[in-house]
Amino acid sequence: MDRSRGFTLLELVIVTAIVSILGALAAASYGRYAFRARRADAKHMLMTIAQGEERWYATYNRYTDDLGKFGYADPAISPHAYYEVTLAVEGKDAQTYVVSALPMNNQADDTCGSLTIDNVGNKKPDRTDAVANANGNCW
């Protein structure tokens, strides 16, 4: 008895199930990658402002709270509109600053929340769980 060549229904169901599982895993992995990649938008802007603040401090011996000095509006929107960046200068003689990037639009659900950098160079995410960010997942 000759068997005709082709696939059985069971073989097609098994292949479809395997492809579906792999697709679900790939979609979840891509979502995490997309959040991490969009975080670069905030990191670049925060580092640019921090460098500008240090240049300003070297010239005037104080920090400025004017984002316009660095070419940004107040509040500043990151180049791809994933973060809103604010600058706060504190201290008696404007001797400290904190720059914060608050996620918005597609980045609003990011688990890291807002990212900050201060005049000492401390880079912190909004997460209160230090163990979850111990390896620098956010920064």
Q: How far apart are CA 45 and CA 114, in angstroms?
A: 13
pLDDT (tens digit per residue) in 3-42: 677 778 888 899 999 999 999 888 877 878 888 888 888 8
Q: What's the angle, vertex CA 55, arms to CA 64 and CA 48, rounded to 5?
A: 85
Q: How far apart are CA 115 and CA 122, in angstroms?
A: 11
pLDDT (tens digit per residue) in 62-108: 999 888 888 888 778 888 889 999 999 988 888 899 999 999 988 88
Delimit the domains of the chain by residue range.
39-125
Alpha-helical (H) ranges within 4-139 are 9-60
| Residue 69: CA count within 13 A, CB half-sphere | 15
Say how many Å lie between the first and final Cα of the chain, rounded: 66
- Cβ burial, residue 46 (10 Å; 0-12/13-18/19+): buried
Which residues are bridge partners to 85 per DSSP? 76, 101
Q: What's the angle, vertex CA 138, arms to CA 62 and CA 84, rounded to 5?
A: 55
Put simply, whether the predicted model's pTM sits higher than 0.95 gets the answer no
